[in-house]
Amino acid sequence: MSRPPDASRRAAGPELARIARSAASSRAQSSESSKAALPAPRRLWSLASKPVTVLNKIGPRRAASFGELGIENVLDLLTHYPRRYHDRSRQVPVAELEVGREVLVVAEVRRVRTIRASPGSRARPRVEVDVHDGTGWLKVTFFNQPWRAKQLCPTSHVALFGKITEFRDQRRMANPVVDLVGNRTGRIVPIYPSSDKAGVASWELAEAVSEALQRAGVLEDPLPMPLRERLELMERTKAFHSIHAPATMGEQLAARRRLAFDELLRIELMVIMSKVALESSSKGISHEVSPQRWGPLLERFTNSLPFELTAAQHRAIKEILSDMASPVPMHRLLQGDVGAGKTVVALSALLAAVQGGYQGALMAPTEVLAEQHHTVLRDLVKGLSVPDATRLDGERQLEVAMLSSKTGAAERSRLTAALRQGGIDIVVGTHALLTEDISFAALGAVVVDEQHRFGVEQRSALREKGRLFGGSDPDLLVMTATPIPRTAAMTVFGDLDLTVVDGLPSGRVCVKTVWAADRELEAEAWDRVRAEVALGHRAYVVCPLVEGSERIEARSVMAERDRLVSDELAGLAVGFIHGQMRSREKEAVMAAFRTGEIQVLVATTVIEVGIDVPQATVMVIEDADRFGLAQLHQLRGRVGRAELESWCYLIGERDRCGSDAERRLRAMEQTTDGFTLAELDLEIRGEGTILGSRQKGRSDLNLASLRKDRDLVQLARKVAEEIVASDPHLVDHPGLGEEMRLFIGEDDAEFLFKS
Ligand code: ADP
Ligand code: MG
């Protein structure tokens, strides 16, 4: 996996060929004993090695168009699934069309005219199309779609979906949904995602698929028959036929279920095999703790907190301690809503390592976040000490240090030396801590704060780093502030164990959230800020996101502060904070905000996490429509942190908001539950963003959806667990192993098969 990417890609071809040969020879042996006459079923691998030009109607030019759709080979073609289907039994003959109804009409284009508006009029040209289906004529008009004149030529067969209207005694359809279906028979007509740009019509894809399927013959089914029967999954050759050319919609559904299951199974196998491979190949540290005996330092820490741990925090810490006690390295994901109190839990893991003489590291995705974590952690451990035989008292202060690119050279060399010698107990920094030339005396536990991003790369870098010194893998806790829906977490973070800190510490109030969509509500927001400040409370104003550098962002924060002081917030003490300020300046501002010397803090999203001022009761987010849901939720988490009634105003003019933005802002008004918002976020953004860098390329889910196919995700998970438990390297399931390599990528999958 450490090979440079292109070298490993080059190696992929021969490697696949080797697998193919060995699989073929083992198959030949087994078929000798049974029915030797039957040709071996074809494997997907062989389809992937055939360019689409092997098909009769596809020459180099067509192939280039297919290429624009991402279809290079026959496997790409067969996994380019229809986006929807026309059920022609629902189709209405033109002669029977009723005005006012939405219908599906399939007909032949007879005449196409582009009609220009009279000179001087500002109307755009319209395209008028006459179609005929053997029972009658229908007039179809396209407004603002001049390209239809080229797309629809006489004799082409089209499926039109739209509402029938009447105009001048004639039945018409305006701007219907159009699919070029070709002169195809069959009750269900597949409609492929095809781009106008690539110039490939749906019927052309259908024809190519049909030829490919016919010539491919029987395809190998990688799932053993008994398993298939138990799960009531359609046989795979039939599934490919049925998804592209179903006889009924029921058949299509069964085919989809089978093929979606295969997609999910490949991913679940991958994450479970990664987990097993990791556990069997690594040597961890058995920390001297247990869920019952927390140890002196950890106990002193929890006793020093100004609050009782919640039940969820208690449970989370116990789960972590039990992992840390075990010789298998911990690999755990800590999830919880904003304000659930994850910091205390994460710090407990670090302290459990420190009390046994090890060091802990906390890594954040950005410098700003690292600084904030550093401030919070330092405060939390104030007054704690660790044994130190070289001191007269036999102990010293617990040392927390921060290492960043801004650390000066002299300070840096002092810190790195102290880390190497064990003089620093906990270090906070960015992910760069891993790549830089930093070594530890004894790194025992690492907390990675992943925030909104889900990187797997850092995790493997971390293992390698851990092994460089001492030879053991440090325990790892990955923390996400963005709740992830369970099925998605199971898949995306499937190689990690999951701990959820659910519920909030008691006494939290629900933050009243208002989408300030017009001037009046916006004025209410500023009124509220003044009213709360008058009561001795504080307010945040979050500035619009600024594209470009932190410097530009800093300038806009200062400008906004000046504007507010001379306008809406005249007479109030308004401060500002942004990412370009030095830590010391930031700390000074935060201290002033805490005491009330600053009443309103104008800020960038640097305040997103880590900042905790209980007297803050109002937040105004400007241009809220431009923020993502997860980010809005995080920001809102800065208010409502005590028992004081709190508000969050989301400014975003209704007219300017797109429909997705509108859904986000409405959702924020309706719920403060991070998990509910996460589900919705997944729905709005699609799963691509969640899978992100974890599953690249062909393994992207084509059919299956982590959101809609929850039951199927669970099923695939269970089946994958069963298979790996009895056959950890898929020796008895060679077809599955081969397809994982095929879809997930040779280099990513390879290490899973090594014993
Ligand atoms: P998050 O899960 O968002 O990281 P934090 O760890 O920042 O949450 O905690 C949010 C706030 O709640 C902090 O002020 C923290 O001190 C406080 N807190 C944490 N645990 C408890 C608890 N058990 N009872 C009361 N307050 C708590
Ligand atoms: Mg926090």
Best mutation site among 302, 303, 305, 307 for ligand 1 pocket (most ligand atoms within 8 Å of CB): 307
- Encode pLDDT of 425-466 as tens digits: 999 998 777 766 788 888 899 998 875 454 455 556 666 665
Q: Which ligand is nearest to the CA of 482?
A: 1
**β 512-516/647-651 pair status:** parallel
CB 529 within 8 A of CB 618: yes
Assess whether pLDDT exceeds 80 at residue 75. Answer: yes
Residue bearing tokens 């005219």 = 113
- Encode pLDDT of 378-388 as tens digits: 989 999 999 88
Q: In the chain, what is the greatest distance between 2 CA atoms, to the nearest angstrom?
A: 103
CA-to-CA dists, residue 128 to 131, 138, 141, 524, angstroms:
10, 10, 5, 51
- Give the Å distance between the CA of 339 and the centre of ligand 1: 5
Which atom of ligand 1 is the closest one to the Cα of 479? 4
Which atom of ligand 1 is the closest one to the Cα of 501? 2
Closest residue by Cα to atom 18, ligand 1, is 341
- Encode pLDDT of 592-608 as tens digits: 999 999 999 999 887 76
Regarding the domain delimited by 512-671, which CATH topology (the fold level of the hierarchy) does it fall under?
Answer: Rossmann fold (3.40.50)
For residues 699 and 130, the model is more confident at: 130
**Residue 661 in tokens:** 């933005």
Which atom of ligand 1 is the closest one to the Cα of 344? 6
CA atoms in the 13 A half-sphere facing the CB of 448: 28
- Give the Å distance between the CA of 366 and the centre of ligand 1: 21
Best mutation site among 344, 500, 631, 639 for ligand 1 pocket (most ligand atoms within 8 Å of CB): 344
Closest residue by Cα to atom 5, ligand 1, is 341
Pocket lined around ligand 1, Cβ cut-off 6 Å: 307-310, 313, 336, 338-344, 481, 505, 612, 641
Q: What confidence score (pLDDT) does residue 18 get? A: 45
**Residue 677 in tokens:** 């918002």
For residues 105 and 1, the model is more confident at: 105
Whether 512-671 and 296-501 are alike in CATH topology: the answer is: yes
Closest residue by Cα to atom 25, ligand 1, is 505
- Encode pLDDT of 648-661 as tens digits: 999 998 888 888 89
Domain-wise residue ranges, the chain: 89-185, 296-501, 512-671
Question: What superfamily would CATH give domain 89-185?
Answer: Nucleic acid-binding proteins (2.40.50.140)
Lowest mean pLDDT among 225-239, 322-336, 468-482: 468-482
H-state helical runs in 450-485: 457-468
Taking the C-alpha atoms of residue 618 and residue 616, their distance in angstroms, rounded to an integer, is 6
Of 622, 480, 648, 502, the residue nearest 564 (C-alpha): 622
CB 296 within 8 A of CB 744: no
Mean of pLDDT values over 404-422: 88
**β 84-87/188-191 pair status:** antiparallel
Regarding the domain delimited by 296-501, which CATH topology (the fold level of the hierarchy) does it fall under?
Answer: Rossmann fold (3.40.50)
